[in-house]
Structure 1
Amino acid sequence: MKRFLPLAIRLAVLVLLIVFITEPNVFAPVFKPLTENNAPPIYNQGSLLTLTLLHLRVVLTATVAATIVAVGLAILVTRPSGREFLPLSRSLVNVGQTFPPVAVLALAVPAVGFGQKPTLIALFLYGLLPIFENALTALTTLPNAVMEAARGSGMTNFQRLLRVELPLAFPVILAGIRLSVVIGLATATIGSTVAAKTLGEVIIAGLLSNNIAFVLQGGLIVGALAVLIYDALSGLERLAARRMAPKEEAG
Structure 2
Amino acid sequence: MTRHLARAWRLVLLALLLAFLFRPALFEPVLRPLTENNAPAIYDKGDLLSLTLSHLKITAIATLGAALLAVAMAVFVTRRAGADFLPLSRSVVNIGQTFPPVAVLALAVPAMGFGEAPTLVALFLYGLLPIFETTIAGLTGVPRPVVEAARGVGMTGWQRLLQIELPLALPLVVAGLRLSAVIGLGTATIGSTVGARTLGEVVIAGLLSDNLAFIVQGGAIVGALAILLHDTLSWLEQRLARRA
TM-score normalised over the length of structure 1: 0.96
Deviation at 1:61? 0.1
Query: How does 1:22-41 map onto structure 2 within 5 Å?
Result: 22-41=22-41
Aligned residue runs from structure 1 range 101-140, under 5 A: 101-140=101-140
Cα distance in 2 for partners of 1:86, 1:109 equals 31
Distance 1:158 1:30 in 2: 57
Distance 1:3 1:140 in 2: 32
C-alpha offsets along residues 132-163 of structure 1, whole Å, 9 cap, x if unaligned?
A: 00011111111112111111111100011100
Provide the residue aligned with 2:178 in structure 1: 178
Name the SS for the 2:169 alignment partner.
Answer: helix
SS in 1 for 2:82: helix
SS in 1 for 2:165: helix
SS at match of 1:154: coil
Worse overlay, 134-143 or 49-58: 134-143
CA RMSD of aligned residues (A): 0.5
For 1:223, the equivalent position in structure 2 comes to: 223
Task: Find out whether 1:235 has 2:226 as its counterpart.
Answer: no
Q: Which runs of 5+ in 2 are unaligned?
A: none
**Which position in structure 1 is the counterpart of 2:51?**
51
Within-5 A mapping of 1:69-108: 69-108=69-108
What SS does the aligned partner of 2:81 have?
Answer: helix
1:192-238 CA-partner distances (Å, limit 9, x unpaired):
00000000000000000000000000000000000000000000000
Distance in 1 separating the partners of 2:98 and 2:75? 23
**Corresponding residue number in structure 1 for 2:141:** 141
Q: What whole-Å deviation, never above 9, does each CA across 1:23-69 have from its counterpart, x for those lacking one?
A: 10110000000000000000000000000000000000000000000
1:64 matched residue in structure 2: 64
Please give the alpha-carbon distance, in whole angstroms, between the structure 2 residues aligned to 1:67 and 1:217: 30
The residue identity in structure 2 corresponding to 1:133 is E
May I ask how many residue pairs the two structures share in their alignment?
Answer: 244
Amino acid paired to 2:190: I
Residue number in structure 1 paired with 2:213: 213
Moved over 2 A (4+): none
CA–CA distance in 2 between the matches of 1:81 and 1:7?
46
1:242 Cα shift?
A: 0.2
Identity across aligned pairs (percent)?
Answer: 64
- Residue deviations 1:64-101 (CA, integer Å, cap 9, x gap): 00000000000010010111111110010000000000
**SS in structure 1 opposite 2:38?**
coil
Structure 1 CA distance for aligned equivalents of residues 178 and 111 of structure 2: 30
1:22, 1:121 → 2: CA distance? 31
TM-score when normalising by structure 2: 0.99
State the alpha-carbon separation in 2 of the partners of residues 242 and 100 from structure 1.
36
Distance in structure 2 (CA, Å) of the matches to 1:191 and 1:201: 9
State the match for 1:193 in structure 2: 193
Helix, strand or coil: the match of 2:2? coil
Residue 4 of structure 1 and its aligned partner are, at CA, apart by 1.2
CA distance in 2, matches of 1:83, 1:3: 42
What is the one-letter code of the residue matched to 2:23?
A: E
SS of corresponding position for 1:220: helix
Counterparts of 1:190 and 1:216 in 2: how far apart (Å)? 16
- Secondary structure, counterpart of 1:196 in structure 2: coil
Q: Distance in 1 between matches of 2:153 and 2:206?
A: 62
**Structure-2 residue corresponding to 1:247:** none
